[in-house]
Structure 1
Amino acid sequence: MKIHTHQIPKIGKIKVSLDATIGIAQSRGERPYQEDFVALSSLTFKHKQLTKTITRAQDYQKLIANNQAKFRKRIVPSTSNNDTEDFQSLFVAVIDGHGGTDSAKYLSNNLSRIITETDPIIDIPKAIREYRSIGGYFRRFRGGYLEELANQIYLAHPQKSSSSTVTTEEKEKEEELVIGIDERIHLSYLLADQDLIKTYPKSGAVMTSIIMTSLPVEESPESGNIIYPYFQSTRLSLVVAHVGDTVLYCVRLTMGKWGGSLANSRGLGDAAFKALGVTVTTEEKEKEEELVIGIDERIHLSYLLADQDLIKTYPKSGAVMTSIIMTSLPVEESPESGNIIYPYFQSTRLSLVVAHVGDTVALLCSADDGKVSVLTENHHPDSRVESDRLRRIGTGLITDSFGESRWGGSLANSRGLGDAAFKALGVTGEPDIINKIINGKDWEFLILVSDGISNMLTNQEIIDLCKQIKSPKDASKKVVEFAESLGGRDNMTAIVIPLYNWNNPDSIDHTVQRREFRLNQIHAQTGSARQNRIAYHFLQINSIVVLKRKD
């Protein structure tokens, strides 16, 4: 079934008004420089990647429960022609840096590239190794959200997950090298021992293992060589490897599928288990080489890789970030027109993936009642989610005289990218992932804001400020300006992404009276926020002059 999209002409130009499709506004506040950054780009993903993302979404099973066949037809076209087709996605991120602009600027310039260029077969094992090398909180890191993918890669591509690089000449020499089963299992014990020394230095194990191979037996010249199961074979190769005080008894065993005990031998590591003779058939190799990584998994991996780049390149700075990848899904208007993909601001069916670390915020505005739907949760050390995660460390949380909690005595957020000195204390770059399928008609818009705004306004106030405004650009400006009028001094950023019901004339402003009251209170007490800032600077300058006169 053919999919129709809005095509860009190969020759000529088209006029695009970005302000009409997305709104971005920023203010430096009272800070000497701007540490808030924005990332905005168009990404493309394969049909298989989008399909996997959709089937892993939070609401997928619920959505297909009532009308499974119809929904699947509308969501993912099943024709084989679409397997190699690219789907265009919108990528937007709000980035709040600290300790300088280096980390936030790096993420703004490079995160979209990392998302598209990352190779999961190489980069997932690399990311796990890098985090484990930090020690502390990460000494037993297995991949977190990506652990299932990591296990698939370790089993299917043990040589590709290695950190070493091999030249063509070395590969040819290695292919000529023959290593016996006895030598292989001996080497595996040594490698497993070294892994345990580094990873689990306070524990150990003893073990006896066997590798039993049925050898060909010639029954007759007519039948040729026959290989019987080990329990029927008259000719066996038996290799025993033994350390410690375990005992080997000669008993008849009923063996299941080779590798079935892998989950119980994690102490050895997956690589050591592979070296004990696990082989992969041609069919399994073909399936494993088609490793498909979903958009949610890809953006999660990109956060980890970016985090490790920042640790090495800008160890004294860091950043928190909320990013979204929004993809318009095919919608069948009629049997004649086929499946049509609309722009995200006109689409009734969208894939939405949110990746979040820190205290930047992502909000949706409901088209039904105008109420806010919060997509993210702040990663403060005293929050419910983070306190559970960090409890096992047992130290690091310090409360200052104002009652604010700081992790490691310095950081307001217990998750973030960069901040190399605090990694061992559990300041992880692992993002929360929200993977949803949304109906565009149910929502007016999505907004991303930095903490300079969310610390001054409630979530509902942020949403209400954007209602019944024609331009997303004007809406984002209104949010920033109102936060300034309340005395906001931090860097401020607002990004408004219009959806199907943008500029809904029936949308209700729930906080208009509250906002007016807050403004009146500020003006009645101390004048306007601008006057306050001028007075603040005047007092600072005056105090400096007085000190110089005394000197």
Structure 2
Amino acid sequence: MALRLLQSLKSRPIFPNYAKYHDYVRVTTQGGVIRIPLASPKVIGVANSRGNRSHQEDFYAFATLSLNPEELQISVKESHNIDWDPKGVGDAFSSQAVFIGIYDGHGGSAVSQYMRQEFHGIFESVVKSSIPELFTWIKGLGGYFKRFKGGALAPWVELSENTPPLDLEARATEAFFEVDRTLSVDGFAQTCGATASVAILHSLDAPAAPFFSAKRVALTVAHCGDTRVILCSTNGGRAVPMTENHHADAHVETIRLRRMMGSSLITDSFGDSRWMGALVNTRCVGDLRFKKFGVTPEPEVRTKLLEGKDWAYLVFVSDGISSMLSDDEVVDLARDAQDPKDAADKILAFAQELGGDDNATAIVVPLAGWGSIRGADKTKDLREYRRQQAVGSERQRRM
């Protein structure tokens, strides 16, 4: 199913723009500009497993995008009131922004695989001139979207000569909706979907410095579903979530859905709340048959200015891990790791020790404060207790 979907969509380019993204980050050294591969375990660490399932639905991707410097400048000003000058870093760095995405499929792997292969390219390629047509398609979904005003896309629904460049929130929103519009040509996406969390890391240093050593980084997170993105501070190893689970019974979602659709929240026999009696997540890409009932790909976008060495790393996890571990446990497991790959391995391994058998992915992205966390490991004793409990339960099960 996944292969058929990918083959059918691959031949339908959405935007004519030539893709400029690449798999390395440019770094200035005394000898000139060099390229460091993002796939290096010291740059981005990844650990993933399909657990006890026969198929993999978790996927991820990272790339360095080439974005309009004016758009990045506007976004920094809007979000952080900082006057960042693209000319101060030179042409080689003024458009550079690192993209990291984590995708957790459900109902099959077709949509999450599509996101892994295509979403960073879509994110880079969307243009404001496509928004009026996209908005018409969204309204045509009917039901919930009959009342849709455009959200972050509203300023571009009716274009004029004075329409400003996109900002990152609008770009992310357009990209998520464009995925659904593209998927709508294939019947598989009616019942197959994926949650998605993506982060854009934009270094503000001049001279330019990469995200893992920059003194100031503008972080933008666009999120649908229950994959999680968590920051870890150097001051006490504090966990700061950049995402909220978009479950049917989450406060932000119940308000949104009941205001527009009334109540369609049903509790199943396991005590889990499901929208329309079927979906745990009420924001996702795909699952097109539920869109008119309020399930939306519209991302929740959050921004944060990361100053100096205040932040040690950024962690992405799928629900195969977040269903087993708290945010504090996730960041504490990574704190003494040798490198980002080792950190991701430790997070995944502990979730599996506790009995996690779902698809699971952990991604660890180092920041300027890597290796400089101060204070005690807050969850060390709790983790040891939970490990002993898990070992005891496994022994009883085998008796």
TM category (shorter chain) comes to 0.7 to 0.9
Are the counterparts in 2 of residues 20 and 471 from structure 1 also a CA contact under 8 Å?
yes
The residue identity in structure 2 corresponding to 1:106 is: Y
Considering only aligned residues, what root-mean-square deviation do their CA atoms show, in Å?
2.6
Q: How does 1:305-316 map to 2 (within 5 A)?
A: 305-313=178-186, 314-316=189-191
Alpha-carbon deviation of 1:526? 3.0
Alpha-carbon deviation of 1:9? 9.2
> 2:76 aligns to what?
54
Identify which of 121, 136, 156 aligns with 1:113. Answer: 121
2:236 is the counterpart of 1:369:
yes
> 1:379 aligns to what?
246
> Could you tell me how far apart the structure 2 residues matched to 1:372 and 1:55 are?
26
> 1:317 aligns to what?
192
Are the counterparts in 2 of residues 296 and 435 from structure 1 also a CA contact under 8 Å?
no
> 1:390 aligns to what?
257
2:379 is the counterpart of 1:511:
yes
Deviation string 1:55-113 (CA, Å, 9 cap, x unpaired) is 121xx24xxxxxxxxx63xx33577x969974211100110001111100011111111
Q: Percent identity?
A: 37
> 1:92 aligns to what?
100
In structure 2, runs of 5+ residues without a counterpart are: 1-25
In structure 1, runs of 5+ residues without a counterpart are: 62-70, 157-284, 331-338, 537-551
Alpha-carbon deviation of 1:295? 2.2
> 1:32 aligns to what?
54
Identify which of 197, 202, 226 aligns with 1:327. Answer: 202
TM-score, normalised via structure 1 length = 0.64
Deviation string 1:16-72 (CA, Å, 9 cap, x unpaired) is 871011101001111111100001111012221111110121xx24xxxxxxxxx63
The residue identity in structure 2 corresponding to 1:139 is: K
Are the counterparts in 1 of residues 57 and 359 from structure 2 also a CA contact under 8 Å?
yes
Alpha-carbon deviation of 1:394? 1.3
Deviation string 1:251-270 (CA, Å, 9 cap, x unpaired) is xxxxxxxxxxxxxxxxxxxx
Closer, same or farther in 2 for the Cα pair 1:17/1:435, shift >3 Å? closer
2:201 is the counterpart of 1:346:
no
> 1:44 aligns to what?
66
> 2:319 aligns to what?
451
> Could you tell me how far apart the structure 2 residues matched to 1:12 and 1:467 are?
29
Deviation string 1:105-145 (CA, Å, 9 cap, x unpaired) is 011111111112212112x1122111111110011222112
Structure 1 or 2, whichever has the larger Rg, is: 1
Closer, same or farther in 2 for the Cα pair 1:312/1:524, shift >3 Å? same
Closer, same or farther in 2 for the Cα pair 1:47/1:472, shift >3 Å? same
Alpha-carbon deviation of 1:507? 4.8
> 2:4 aligns to what?
none
Identify which of 379, 382, 406 aligns with 2:274. Answer: 406
Alpha-carbon deviation of 1:10? 10
User: What SS is found at the alignment partner of 1:322?
Assistant: strand
> Could you tell me how far apart the structure 1 residues matched to 2:142 and 2:108 are?
26
The residue identity in structure 1 corresponding to 2:216 is: R
User: What SS is found at the alignment partner of 2:154?
Assistant: helix
Deviation string 1:323-362 (CA, Å, 9 cap, x unpaired) is 00101112xxxxxxxx311111000101111000000000
Are the counterparts in 1 of residues 325 and 351 from structure 2 also a CA contact under 8 Å?
yes
User: What SS is found at the alignment partner of 2:181?
Assistant: helix
Identify which of 359, 365, 371 aligns with 2:226. Answer: 359
Closer, same or farther in 2 for the Cα pair 1:465/1:401, shift >3 Å? same
Closer, same or farther in 2 for the Cα pair 1:84/1:519, shift >3 Å? closer
Q: How does 1:401-550 map to 2 (within 5 A)?
A: 401-504=269-372, 506-527=374-395
Are the counterparts in 2 of residues 358 and 415 from structure 1 also a CA contact under 8 Å?
yes
Alpha-carbon deviation of 1:315? 2.3
Alpha-carbon deviation of 1:409? 1.1
Q: How does 1:117-132 map to 2 (within 5 A)?
A: 117-122=125-130, 124-132=131-139
Are the counterparts in 2 of residues 47 and 87 from structure 1 also a CA contact under 8 Å?
yes
Are the counterparts in 2 of residues 468 and 507 from structure 1 also a CA contact under 8 Å?
no
User: What SS is found at the alignment partner of 2:172?
Assistant: helix
2:85 is the counterpart of 1:76:
yes
> 1:21 aligns to what?
43
Q: Which runs of 4+ in 1 moved over 3 A?
A: 7-17, 81-86
> Could you tell me how far apart the structure 1 residues matched to 2:110 and 2:346 are?
28
> Could you tell me how far apart the structure 2 residues matched to 1:492 and 1:475 are?
14
> 1:295 aligns to what?
168
Are the counterparts in 1 of residues 203 and 211 from structure 2 also a CA contact under 8 Å?
yes
The residue identity in structure 1 corresponding to 2:248 is: P
Closer, same or farther in 2 for the Cα pair 1:91/1:30, shift >3 Å? same
User: What SS is found at the alignment partner of 1:312?
Assistant: coil
Are the counterparts in 1 of residues 233 and 373 from structure 2 also a CA contact under 8 Å?
no
> Could you tell me how far apart the structure 1 residues matched to 2:302 and 2:373 are?
29
> Could you tell me how far apart the structure 2 residues matched to 1:483 and 1:352 are?
27
Alpha-carbon deviation of 1:525? 3.0
Are the counterparts in 1 of residues 231 and 242 from structure 2 also a CA contact under 8 Å?
yes
